[in-house]
Amino acid sequence: MRAFVFTDRALERQAGRFVWLSIDAENDKNEAFLEKFPIEAYPTMLVIDPRSEKAVLSWVGSATVPQLESILDDGERSWAGEAREGADAALAAADRFLGGGDQVEAIAAYRDALAKAPPGWTARDRAVESLLTTLDLSGGAAECVETARAELPDERTPHFARMAAAGLSCAVSLDTPDKAASVTEFEAAVRSALGEPRIEMSGDDRSGLYVALYVARDDAQDEAGAKAIAEQWLAFLDTAAAEAPTPQARAVYDSHRLSASLAAGKPEHAVEFLRQSEKALPDDYNPPARLALALAELGRYDEALAATDRALKLVYGPRKLRVYTSRADILEKKGDTEAAKATLGDALRYARTLPKAQVSQRRLQSLEARIAELGS
């Protein structure tokens, strides 16, 4: 979002409309904010009423410039209380419920908004996408699939692509007899979106379509199909990264490029671009943390451990636990069980110093269980 959306000149007119604030959820100084506004996924955008200090709209995920402008319009309407009846009022209520963390009431209100929507309602796409995201996060896979199927438009637009990907994600989570058929149905829709060059999407969003396809093939234990998708995905990402105007913009693709490289069986490819990112962004822990994973896949354990050392000097907050865990995994692969156990002990001690809003009890129990497992 920072590299490709917030820098767009079209957003200049929004500058004085809101007070803009970004929250570093990894920094313990923001504990009070996170306790008041729990964040389940990144990125999450909130529109907050300064009078009540409650979120009147919550949006999970990235957004294009037109999408962001629509979100801001809806957030302002919800804050102003302009909509008193009909679909707009129901949508505003849904946004407030979701902003307050009440997913059950939010789902009901989004459904109410869609039921009351007049023909040509301009907020319909946003309402449907918010409903699908909420259903996915709350474990409502079957209802998510049903909604995506009913609402999937015929016209090939960015909305079509997002609906297809959401439907596929939920279809993979099904535990019903029609799972395979549903997955096949939405895979076809996602492939259709990828094959339509007129759909204007960010590189990150287009990469998300490949992710959905790869996860579906991997879940189906289709090794050949998953690898074929991974290779197509990697080729797309390499092209997108080569066209990025700055090192920061290029590094936006590093996470997906690493995943695609490993899925395609090409970890050495990831080593090349991650070393490039580490050199260009010396204060960012992400490049060495990711580099460690690629090096470990190649069996270059000492180099991988050195990369985790560099990452640990830069990382903070709950992300540091991931680096500790990666380091323990590498040590275990190397055969040094005692060092792996000691590293997890460091992670557990560090986790206990974090604010409660940043680390769950389940995460602590997971570390304890892993230590016990290594000890036995």
- Run of H or E residues at 49: strand 44-49
Query: Among 148-157, 184-193, 196-205, which stretch is predicted with the lowest mean pLDDT?
Result: 196-205
- Determine the distance from the C-alpha atom of residue 351 to the mean position of all C-alpha atoms in its chain, rounded to a whole number: 23
The pLDDT of 62-82, averaged and rounded, is 83
The helix/strand/coil state of 197 is coil
Half-sphere exposure of 340 (CA within 13 A, CB side): 20
* Tokens (6 digits) for 106: 């939010």
Please indicate whether residue 74 or residue 206 has the higher confidence score (pLDDT): 206
Query: Among 47-56, 174-183, 327-336, which stretch is predicted with the lowest mean pLDDT?
Result: 47-56
Give 82's pLDDT tier (boundaries 50, 70, 90). low
Residue 115 near residue 81, CB atoms below 8 Å: no
- CA 9-10-14 angle, to 5 degrees, is 105
Question: Residue written as tokens 């990828």?
Answer: 194
Q: From CA 352, how far away is CA 98, in angstroms rounded? A: 30
Residue 367's alpha-carbon distances to 56, 261, 353, in angstroms, are: 36, 28, 14
Cis bond upstream, residue 282 (ω within 30): no
Question: Residue written as tokens 């301009």?
Answer: 122
pLDDT tens digits, one per residue of 39-58: 877 889 999 999 999 888 88
* pLDDT reading at 244 higher than 70: yes
What is the value of pTM for the model shown? Answer: 0.86
In the chain, % of residues over pLDDT 90: 68
* pLDDT reading at 270 higher than 70: yes
**What size, in residues, is the chain?**
376
Residue 84 pLDDT: 67
In the chain, % of residues over pLDDT 70: 99
Q: From CA 215, how far away is CA 201, in angstroms rounded? A: 20
Taking each helix axis from N to C terminus, what angle separates 223-243 and 254-263, rounded to the nearest 10 degrees? 150
